[in-house]
Amino acid sequence: MTELIATAYGVEPDKVMGGPSWLDTDRFDVIAMAPSGTSQSALALMLQSLLTQRFQLTVHVDRKPMAAFVLSVGNGKPKLKEAEPGQAGCQRQPPPAETEPIPAVCHGLTMAAFAAQLSSAAGDYLNAPVVDDTKLEGTWDFTLRWTPRSRLANAGTEGITIFGAVEKQLGLKLEAKQVPRPVIAVDHVNRNPTDNPPGVAARLPPAPPPHFEVATIRPTDPQLQAPRFQTPPDGQIKIQGVTLSYLIQTIWFITPDMIVDAPKWLDTDRWDIVAKVASAPGDAPRTDMDSMTAMVRELLEDRFRLKTHMEERVARAYTLTALKPRLRKAEAANRTGCREGPGADGKDPRLANPALTRLVTCQNMTMAQFAERLPNIANAMNLLNTNIRSAVNDSTGLTDAYDFTLSFTNGIGAQPALAAPPAGAEASDPNGALSLAEAMSSQLGLKLELAKRPAPVLVIDHVEQTPADN
């Protein structure tokens, strides 16, 4: 519902305030037909009307203190040069080496334009808008060099955060603060919509399932070392050097332990797949993750005669248990959900420990809900090297809802050990990096482990080693 309201009123989801706890968790599919040529602004008004009629949604525009980064003048004189005539903008240049800062050469920018560009240019640091409070008039030329958050740990003493770069190189300050911003406040909304009109299913038939128009499958060149993945905007998909086992894990979102009765070659034979997505004339090809997953699955079933079924067996699967929980009971009025970035207090432990690349803030969350969301939390921003590919079983015995933050290093500790480190333990990496399992133990007093338990597994009933001809 949060996303529906944000779409209808043209705001970011974090600007939808108030409302019941389920606003961020319950999900809906909305399929509607509008006259041909309807503008986007008209569609937004239609969606507002639909939400009002079907969910009895009422909202009002308000101003609330919200997280932002404020750009202001530092203690000394700004290190900026008045702009010379020329085209305005910033050009980012590749760093000479992986560990060196990224240079951005900016010309003819106002401070307001610079603030607007910072949020996207340094998005791994800035999860909220940047507000210009420098009070500097005119346009400016300058160069800014900073180290992406993901490279800070490897950069060592040569690394510099966006905050340090703005202060040292420009003589400005970039600080996290609470700033009044316009929001959409939810006054009332029903959890269940009114019934669909009679006969609507016949007037709005489902779209045909996505499929590949053409596809080729060939053995991988033995000289290719690592898999490659490309999804060009022309509706093609190119996959090189992958095993069927890897593709099956990706499609069914499972670990290797959860594939049973598979032949050994499933983990060794490697394939290149080039395919073109079918689309109607004038329509963009469907290249979202769900569509791609369905199309690759259909391709494997067709060309490799893959047949499978799911059943429950004892397998290694993820389990969440309680050690010495350090969780704060939630405010019952808060909406339920998790999001990237700091909480309302604006505190970000990643500033003190650059090796921590992820910060997740959860509120009004039960452990059962948290366990359900853990795969998405773990796998965000790490799509090709996923951390958790199975459902997480909640065995904490905790029934209350809690507010908490969790900070860890993305991409390490892809497979938690059978025994997580004890609560309060320091990071095993000397540079301060924390795997997800380590962070949950030291920060929340919870243990995430792979343990043998009854779990759904994918049984390979039949698969042919040689695919059908192209």
Q: Give the model confidence (pLDDT) of 99-137 as tens digits.
A: 678 788 899 999 999 999 998 888 888 878 899 999 999
Q: Write b or e for each residue in 241-262: b if 16 or more Cβ atoms lie within 10 A of its Cβ, otherwise e.
A: bbbbbbbbbbbbebbebbbeeb
Question: Do the beta carbons of residue 186 and residue 19 sit within 8 Å?
Answer: yes
**SS3 state at 154:** helix
Burial class (CB in 10 A: 0-12, 13-18, 19+), 451: middle
- Sheet containing strand 401-408, edge to edge, reads 328-329, 401-408, 358-366, 337-340
- pLDDT value of position 426: 44
Query: What pTM was estimated for this model as a whole?
Result: 0.71
- Alpha-carbon distances of 392 from 377, 423, 431, rounded to whole Å: 12, 20, 29
- pLDDT value of position 134: 95
Asked whether the predicted pLDDT for residue 268 surpasses 80, the reply is: yes
Q: Give the model confidence (pLDDT) of 369-412 as tens digits.
A: 999 998 888 876 443 334 566 788 999 999 999 999 999 887 65
Which residues lie closer than 8 Å to 75 by C-beta, 6 or more apart?
none
- pLDDT value of position 429: 54
- pLDDT value of position 155: 78
d(CA 230, CA 237): 6
Mean pLDDT of 294-302: 94
Question: Do the beta carbons of residue 213 and residue 295 sit within 8 Å?
Answer: no
Listed ranges 199-208, 313-322, 437-446; the one with the highest mean pLDDT: 437-446
Question: Do the beta carbons of residue 379 and residue 388 sit within 8 Å?
Answer: yes
Asked whether the predicted pLDDT for residue 13 surpasses 50, the reply is: yes
Which residues lie closer than 8 Å to 45 by C-beta, 6 or more apart?
none
Question: Do the beta carbons of residue 287 and residue 235 sit within 8 Å?
Answer: yes
Number of helices (H), then strands (E), belonging to the chain: the values are: 10, 20
- pLDDT value of position 97: 67
- pLDDT value of position 119: 84
Higher per-residue pLDDT: 423 or 310: 310
Residue 317 banded pLDDT, cuts 50, 70, 90: confident
Higher per-residue pLDDT: 86 or 442: 442
Residue 286: both structure tokens together? 């469907």
- Give the CA radius of gyration of the chain: 25
Query: Poorest-confidence range of 258-267, 393-402, 415-424, 438-447?
Result: 415-424
**SS3 state at 96:** coil
DSSP per position, 434-468: --HHHHIIIIISEEEEEEEEEEEEEEEEE--SSPP
The average confidence (pLDDT) of the chain is 86
d(CA 284, CA 35): 19
The ranges assigned to domains in the chain are 2-57+189-203, 66-181, 212-278, 316-457
Question: Do the beta carbons of residue 446 and residue 321 sit within 8 Å?
Answer: yes
> Locate tokens 């109607």: which residue?
280
Asked whether the predicted pLDDT for residue 23 surpasses 50, the reply is: yes
Question: Do the beta carbons of residue 434 and residue 356 sit within 8 Å?
Answer: yes
